[in-house]
Amino acid sequence: MYISNLFQPFEVEYKELNECPLALHRNTFFELIYIIRGEGVQHVNDNSFLYSGDHLFLVTPQSRHHFEVKTTTTFLVVKFNDIYLRAQQSQDLYSNLNDWIRNIEYIFQHNTHRPGCILHQVQDKPLVKAITDGIIRELLGEHPFRQEVIQQLVNTLITIVARNVSAHIAAGAEPSAAVSQEIIHYIHQHIYHPEKLKAEQLAAHFHISQNYISEYFKKHTGENLLQFITNYKLRLVETRLQYSALRISEIAYELGFTDESHLNRTFKKYKGMTPSAFRKSRP
């Protein structure tokens, strides 16, 4: 199967097509696809969805997908990768950009959503249309600061998509599991701060007995609390290994491992290979 790569942090394409230029394929990056006009079918993994104007699709890395064009379709396609998201971080300790990036990263890691239009909140549809109109206007024009404006509009679009994915995840949660969902969100939000993920800190934050919180979490999620935190960290490690040029020691420091050796031991225990071997095995 053909694998499509992205050789720059983000890319925007505006095109009108009578057929999909690529057969079933995989990307190594995220792709937002907005339908301006036209009709057809989106195929993702083993699911299909009829598309028409004003639909917005999110295609995550490694998903098998292609479009079956029924009538001439105009697409706006935004491609970006983890490197692009991380490049938006601020060096200012008081900036909220770093929290924004980490929240976005958490949401985009939830790549199990079913195919179809990602816009679950009706009020966001006219906003997305205005943003995509702005991107197209900048793409086709020769305005000053054109690239900078496009980047800001792309960031806003990504944020709106994240909001819709997050709302959809929350809407699917069982009422009885509401607190466990809050715990999951808290873990994702503070994964870079290990001291905030200790059982006593979690128990105090959620007003649950320290002796009971792990049992409560397992009851509602089927997974041990410590195991969940470790698995999520390792998912982030895999993303860094596959889509960034960060050294393993840098990844270990960022995600709160004691050192590179600690990360190597943990990764091999759960993944059956070292981080270096995993990176070499990726396409």
Domain containing residue 180: CATH number: 1.10.10.60
What share of the chain has pLDDT > 70, as a percent? 85
Say how many domains are in the chain: 2
Q: Are residues 143 and 26 in the same domain?
A: yes
What is the pLDDT confidence band of residue 94, given thresholds at 50, 70 and 90? very low
202 and 118 in a common domain: no
Do 49 and 140 share a domain, yes or no?
yes
Expressed as residue numbers, the domain containing 88 is 2-170
pLDDT score at 132: 97
- The span from the CA of 28 to the CA of 3, in Å, is 7
State whether 166 and 190 are in the same domain: no
CB 97 within 8 A of CB 159: no
Q: Tokens standing for 131?
A: 């943003």
User: Bigger pLDDT: 115 or 16?
Assistant: 16
Confidence tier at 175 by pLDDT (50, 70, 90): very low
Domain boundary among 170, 197, 229: 170
Q: Are residues 133 and 239 in the same domain?
A: no
Predicted local confidence at residue 177, as pLDDT: 54
For residues 20 and 119, membership in a common domain is answered with yes
Determine the Cα–Cα distance for residues 160 and 165; give it in Å rounded to an integer: 9
Q: Are strands 2-4 and 25-27 parallel, antiparallel or unpaired?
A: parallel
Same domain for 241 and 106, yes or no, is no
Which pLDDT value is given to residue 82? Answer: 74
Q: At how many degrees (to 10) do helices 178-189 and 225-243 cross?
A: 40
Please check the confidence at residue 172 and state whether its pLDDT lies above 70. no
Does 194 share its domain with 149? no
Q: Answer whether residue 76 shows pLDDT above 70.
A: yes
* pTM score, whole prediction: 0.62
Q: Across residues 12-25, what is the average pLDDT?
A: 89
Q: How far is CA 36 from CA 53, 54, 120, 132, 148, in A?
A: 5, 6, 18, 9, 23
- Which pLDDT does position 182 carry in this prediction? 80
Which of 51, 46, 53, 44 minimizes the C-alpha distance to 25? Answer: 44
217: its two tokens: 């979490």
Over residues 246-268, mean pLDDT: 93
Mean pLDDT calculated for residue range 184-212:
86
104, 137, 170: which is the final residue of a domain?
170
pLDDT of residue 73: 96
Higher pLDDT, 91 or 117: 117
> Do 121 and 55 lie in a common domain?
yes
Average pLDDT of the chain is 84
Write down which residue in 170, 191, 223 finishes a domain. Answer: 170
Which comes out higher in pLDDT, residue 228 or 104?
228
Please indicate, yes or no, whether residues 153 and 254 belong to a single structural domain of this protein.
no
pLDDT bin (cut points 50, 70, 90) of residue 114 is low
Residue of 51 and 180 predicted with greater confidence: 51
Output the DSSP codes for 222-251. Answer: SS-HHHHHHHHHHHHHHHHHHH----HHHH
Residues 58-79, mean pLDDT to the nearest whole number: 91
Domain with residue 109: its CATH number is 2.60.120.280
Tell me: do 18 and 66 sit in the same domain.
yes
Same domain assignment for residues 51 and 87? yes
Q: The tokens of 156 are what?
A: 């806003």
Mean pLDDT across 8-20: 90
Mean pLDDT on 205-222 = 84
Which pLDDT belongs to residue 221?
80
Query: pLDDT: is 157 or 102 the higher one?
Result: 157
